[in-house]
Structure 1
Amino acid sequence: MAMELNVEVAAIKAIVMQESQGHPFLENGLPPILYERRHFFELVAKKRAKVEQSPSGLKRKGSGNKQSQHQNPYPDFPDLCFPHGDNYGPDGLHQYEKLVRAANLDLEISLMACSWGGFQILGEYYSSGCATIFEFVNKFISGTDGQAEIFIAFMKNMKPDGVKGLQARNWEKVADSYSGSIWRTKNPDYASNLAKYYDQFK
């Protein structure tokens, strides 16, 4: 991975430590996941809007407007589908339990709404290196090589600024690219943690 991205091994290890505490697999062999109900909500809303706008879609009066797009499509499952706020719950198998429940609502979107593996890459970005979300998930489950392959493609195709940040050891640039600017309020230690872990492994 370091050779492919022209970065230091310690820089990649820093990301794994920050994202998954250095554990790309759970004790039972599954990759760690984080189910994110906000992303499930957003992806379902986009899917429904796309169907409504398609020529074959049954377009009702008022469908596709902002009000309908912001209504919760699964109001009976606020822990699985909600427009804002984090309600992750415990790590480990609890996250898979949420995924299984969400899969009963929409399988593909439930997989896309999870962050996967040691690098915690959101399934929504599966197209960075895979044809389908199922290929993406299978590679994460398959082993270390699969996770490495996805990470390289993700960084090259979707996070080039993050690669530049890793090369320059500019941890704030890495954080901005990898986690979005929200890290500054949601997780203000993100960049300093990367620097700390880098120094630890260097």
Structure 2
Amino acid sequence: MSRYTPKKSDFHIICEGDTFEKIATKYGFKSAELKRINGMNKITRKDFGRRIALRKEAVCGIQGLVLDAERHPIRGIKYRICVQKLDATRKLPSSGTYDQKKEGKTGVDGLTVRIITESPRDLVDFWVWYPKEGWKLVRSGPSGYGERRITMLSPYVLVKAKTAPHEKKPGEIISPTMKEAPRYDPGKDVQVNPEGEVQAWWGKVSEKFGWRVKDTKTKEGKPVAVVTADGLDLSSLDHYTGEILSEKHFKDAADELGIEVALIKAINEVEAGSSGFMKIGKVTVPKILYERHKFHKFTNGKYTQDNPDLSYPTPYILKKGTYVKSTMKLKSISGEDVDFAYYKRYNKKTDKAEDAISGKQLLGEKVRASGVNTYAAGEENYKRLMRSQKLDKEAAYMCCSWGAFQILGEYATIMGYASAVDFGEKMSQSEAEQLKAFVLYCQKISPGIIPHMKDKNFAGIARAYNGPGYKDYNYDTKIENAYKKWSQK
């Protein structure tokens, strides 16, 4: 079943005096069906102006998308989509039997068939066949209201490759161990389009990205299949000059802000550690931290449904955080309204304590896969940046914190840079450029931080620089301790 495009005639705007019976009579439907499709019993005054669906095809469609660890579609995966309908008491039956079942293999685009449920509250289970384990439940939950696509991310990469025996020559001894090939070095050879057959459909479309398999031979003439992954194309950020911060750099910045040199050094140490740069292969690039909730914000959530590791309404999950389940309306890439379920930070003023769940439980119980929903380190942040810039390059640069002082790209134009991409490229040049950005940030983005710096109000500094959640990481204590160290030198 192909993807359904809802039409204006599929919906009705509730007006004063409307009842399900009147609406059903007007359009020639049954009132019970309208109630079931919209998950409502009756219409009240608070529903005036609300849009309801007239046909289940418009809002009860659901489809699966299976991706590998590098977010490429996996074709040929055996799956089952099973549905349990709500009974007359609006509860799921306890028998565990399914009312609807579809089975098949994912297409070249990683998609399952699309099914239509009777109600947005019907339970939908997605099962996947594992060769060694058999059928495994990978997703279970309500169908939801709106045209939905459920993304299932595998921790593995599936490639199709041929194997062939290595003929043994007389007297030849074949080692039982295999020598590992040198790690791909983007500084030496940027292989954005390596040789070989593209494994993923998206790669075939773009001819740029995706795992590739090439049948070749070793120097000894032995047949071998070479599997090549996407390389990190860092050429646009390969501008490092090697210039490091000197005492003059620190003094000039401190004089411009009217604060002590030791304080700038303390903030630099807490935010960047030993340096604002790191190496990936032979390329020196600025340290970054990718923030998925920022990408969600800058792209209006249109990539969130299919890319939860890159775009999400809330930040990555912290083990010591507390969360509750919530839903929100999203606009999909095609402009359709989608109901999206997610986990947000628990608020004791507005949320019920019995609904709260700890971040440790969320990650430990794999309600949300830990690799998708936790902050990345080092090179992994660049993998997220490279993938998200395929969707929206400017937004991808805006949602990253850059360099020694971890300044968000979203502030780039306010600070005087041409764009977030321009800002990222400037941060790639030297720590001196990163220090200039810190001064601009204090002057144009957060001028309120300067009085706190002058007064040595470390809690005020941390709150202004790191946000209200600074205590989660003890930023105030870290800055104070680093300041004491540098003021003694």
TM-score range, shorter chain: 0.7 to 0.9
Q: 1:182 aligns to what SS in structure 2?
A: helix
1:13-162 to 2 correspondences below 5 Å:
13-27=265-279, 28-45=283-300, 73-86=303-316, 87-126=373-412, 127-162=414-449
Structure-2 residue corresponding to 1:5: 257
Structure-1 residue corresponding to 2:483: 198
Matched, 1:181 2:468: yes
If the length of structure 2 is used for normalisation, what is the TM-score?
A: 0.35
User: How far apart are 1:93 and its partner, in Å?
Assistant: 1.2
**CA–CA distance in structure 1, aligned partners of residues 313 and 274 of structure 2:** 30
Amino acid at match of 1:34: L
The structure-2 alpha-carbon separation of the partners of 1:85 and 1:138, relative to structure 1 and needing over 3 Å to count, comes to closer
Q: 1:80 aligns to what SS in structure 2?
A: coil
In the alignment, structure 1 segments of 5+ residues that lack a partner are 46-70
Amino acid at match of 2:486: F
**CA–CA distance in structure 2, aligned partners of residues 90 and 165 of structure 1:** 31
Conserved in 1, the CA contact under 8 Å of 2:262 and 2:486?
A: yes
Amino acid at match of 2:390: N
In the alignment, structure 2 segments of 5+ residues that lack a partner are 1-252, 317-372
User: How far apart are 1:182 and its partner, in Å?
Assistant: 2.2
> Of Structure 1 and Structure 2, which has the larger fraction of its residues in strand?
2
**CA–CA distance in structure 1, aligned partners of residues 432 and 478 of structure 2:** 26
User: How far apart are 1:160 and its partner, in Å?
Assistant: 1.2
> Of Structure 1 and Structure 2, which has the larger fraction of its residues in helix?
1
**CA–CA distance in structure 1, aligned partners of residues 374 and 391 of structure 2:** 18
User: How far apart are 1:72 and its partner, in Å?
Assistant: 5.3
Amino acid at match of 1:162: I
Conserved in 2, the CA contact under 8 Å of 1:72 and 1:82?
A: no
Q: 2:448 aligns to what SS in structure 1?
A: helix
Q: Which of the pair has the greater relative contact order for Cα pairs under 8 Å at 6+ separation?
A: 1
Give the fraction of aligned pairs with identical amino acids, expressed as a percent.
33
Conserved in 2, the CA contact under 8 Å of 1:15 and 1:119?
A: yes
Conserved in 1, the CA contact under 8 Å of 2:394 and 2:419?
A: no
State the Cα deviation string for residues 111-165 of structure 1 (Å, max 9, x = none).
0000000000011111223131122112101112211221111111111121211
Conserved in 1, the CA contact under 8 Å of 2:458 and 2:477?
A: yes
Amino acid at match of 2:303: P
Conserved in 2, the CA contact under 8 Å of 1:129 and 1:150?
A: no
Conserved in 1, the CA contact under 8 Å of 2:405 and 2:438?
A: yes
State the Cα deviation string for residues 75-109 of structure 1 (Å, max 9, x = none).
11110001113144442111111100000111000
Q: Looking at CA atoms only, which structure, 1 or 2, has the larger radius of gyration? A: 2
Amino acid at match of 1:31: P
Structure-2 residue corresponding to 1:48: none
Conserved in 2, the CA contact under 8 Å of 1:72 and 1:83?
A: no
Conserved in 2, the CA contact under 8 Å of 1:13 and 1:22?
A: no
**CA–CA distance in structure 2, aligned partners of residues 151 and 88 of structure 1:** 27
User: How far apart are 1:74 and its partner, in Å?
Assistant: 3.1
Q: 2:289 aligns to what SS in structure 1?
A: strand
Conserved in 2, the CA contact under 8 Å of 1:139 and 1:150?
A: no
Q: 1:29 aligns to what SS in structure 2?
A: strand
Amino acid at match of 1:73: Y
**CA–CA distance in structure 2, aligned partners of residues 97 and 25 of structure 1:** 16
**CA–CA distance in structure 2, aligned partners of residues 73 and 33 of structure 1:** 21
Conserved in 1, the CA contact under 8 Å of 2:404 and 2:431?
A: no
User: How far apart are 1:35 and its partner, in Å?
Assistant: 0.4
Conserved in 2, the CA contact under 8 Å of 1:111 and 1:137?
A: yes
The structure-2 alpha-carbon separation of the partners of 1:180 and 1:90, relative to structure 1 and needing over 3 Å to count, comes to closer
State the Cα deviation string for residues 165-195 of structure 1 (Å, max 9, x = none).
11111111111111121223x32x1101110
- Output the aligned Cα RMSD: 1.5
Q: 1:160 aligns to what SS in structure 2?
A: coil
